[in-house]
């Protein structure tokens, strides 16, 4: 059973703070129940190769189907979890769910990549790799090279060399790839791109979304792309909200994207419907003139 009060901390007495702590514990208890009662669900957001319009994979994003409050996005509950045991419990639920979905796709002959979000804290827990290995062994013949871990920074940024080892084990044993999420914001630092053997850098959506209207954001996006290239690391832009974003990114040398311009995160049945009617060259490239360029290039 998950512990609800997180790592123990000594608080100076403050009645207001005590109320907050009690509230948080209540929320954590509710989340623990939600995990055991299977109230969470994964949505999937497509990732596209800009130059071809081909959808090569998805990011799994968690939602809470709350019995009273309806469908909740992660910003309504995820921060509460950080640095508690529940963060690991929820991460484990996500991994199990994602592996199941990846196996189902592969059974149907699809070669999609599927990425999940895990915190650096979870990655650095002692039995992370063994636990993951055990889960993977449930699936015979699963192509785990199509599985990707997006590393989220938590403020408890743990031992980089430990995380670096985990990333390496995942790669050497299972071909699992890793991405640095939200690159350029918060606790994500230049040191990470230098020290961690990651495959992909995700340009944070706040920069990408504003890049067409704010020259400063545009410069940051350009800089991150150049940085990734110089480290021989793939780069993907999130928050691509218009065709124009995609065009500019492509011109800057970033060939992968996800964002509302292509699709929002979708529940699995809607995703499959979307995919069955998706026509790369009509829905993405042709509007932007990329189709023309694509044809000319061939
Ligand atoms: P993230 O990993 O950076 O995920 C991208 C977020 O940007 C998602 O928000 C997605 O819906 C949103 N997004 C994608 N394209 C666009 C766009 O074009 N415009 C705008 N405005 N937004 C876009 P979401 O699903 O609300 O997730 C928020 C964050 O919650 C994630 O950011 C991630 O940090 C965290 N999260 C999501 N799922 C999980 C999970 O399973 N485990 C953990 N630990 N964290 C998760
Ligand atoms: Mg992510
Ligand atoms: Mg991100
Ligand atoms: Mg984010």
pLDDT tens digits along 51-87? 999 999 999 999 999 999 999 999 999 988 887 889 9
Q: What is the pLDDT of residue 282?
A: 62
pTM (2 decimals)?
Answer: 0.91
Query: Confidence class of residue 158 from pLDDT cuts 50, 70 and 90?
Result: low
ipTM of the complex in this document:
0.98
The C-alpha atoms of residue 132 and residue 62 are separated, in whole angstroms, by 19
User: Which of 117, 128, 208, 213 is the pocket-test mutation for ligand 1 (most atoms within 8 Å of CB)?
Assistant: 117
In order of 54, 63, 226, the CA distances from 254 in angstroms are 15, 29, 9
Tell me the CA–centroid distance for residue 120 and ligand 2, in Å: 13
CA-nearest residue, atom 19 of ligand 1: 239
pLDDT tens digits along 116-134? 999 988 999 999 999 999 9
User: Which of 205, 260, 270 is the pocket-test mutation for ligand 1 (most atoms within 8 Å of CB)?
Assistant: 205
**In this prediction, what percent of the chain has a pLDDT beyond 70?**
87
Q: What is the pLDDT of residue 286?
A: 52
Residue recorded with tokens 């218009």: 242
Closest CA to 144 of 179, 175, 103: 175
pLDDT tens digits along 215-253? 999 999 999 999 999 999 999 999 999 999 999 999 999
Which ligand is closest to the CA of 62, given by its number?
Answer: 1
């Amino acid at each position: 059973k998950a512990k609800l009060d997180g790592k123990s901390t000594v608080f100076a007495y403050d009645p207001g703070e005590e109320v907050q702590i009690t509230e948080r514990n209540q929320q954590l208890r509710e989340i623990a129940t939600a995990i055991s009662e299977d109230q969470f669900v994964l949505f999937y957001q497509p990732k596209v190769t800009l130059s071809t319009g081909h959808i090569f994979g998805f990011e799994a994003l968690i939602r809470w189907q709350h019995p009273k409050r309806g469908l909740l996005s992660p910003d309504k509950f995820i921060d509460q979890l950080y640095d508690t045991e529940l963060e690991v419990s929820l991460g484990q639920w996500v991994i199990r769910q994602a592996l199941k979905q990846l196996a189902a796709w592969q059974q149907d002959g699809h070669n999609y990549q599927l990425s999940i979000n895990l915190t650096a804290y979870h990655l650095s827990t002692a039995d992370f790799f063994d636990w993951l290995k055990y889960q993977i062994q449930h699936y015979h013949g699963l192509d785990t090279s199509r599985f990707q871990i997006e590393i989220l920074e938590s403020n408890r940024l743990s031992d980089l060399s430990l995380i670096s080892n985990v990333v390496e084990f995942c790669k050497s044993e299972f071909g699992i790839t890793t991405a640095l999420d939200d690159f350029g914001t918060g606790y994500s630092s230049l040191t990470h791109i230098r020290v961690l053997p990651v495959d992909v850098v995700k340009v944070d959506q706040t920069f990408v979304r504003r890049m067409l209207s704010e020259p400063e954001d545009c410069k940051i996006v350009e800089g991150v792309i150049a940085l990734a290239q110089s480290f021989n690391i793939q780069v993907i832009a999130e928050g691509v909200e218009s065709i124009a974003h995609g065009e500019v990114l492509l011109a800057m040398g970033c060939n992968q994207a996800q964002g509302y311009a292509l699709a929002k995160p979708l529940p699995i049945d809607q995703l499959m419907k979307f995919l069955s009617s998706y026509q790369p060259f009509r829905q993405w490239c042709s509007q932007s003139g990329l189709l023309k360029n694509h044809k000319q290039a061939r």
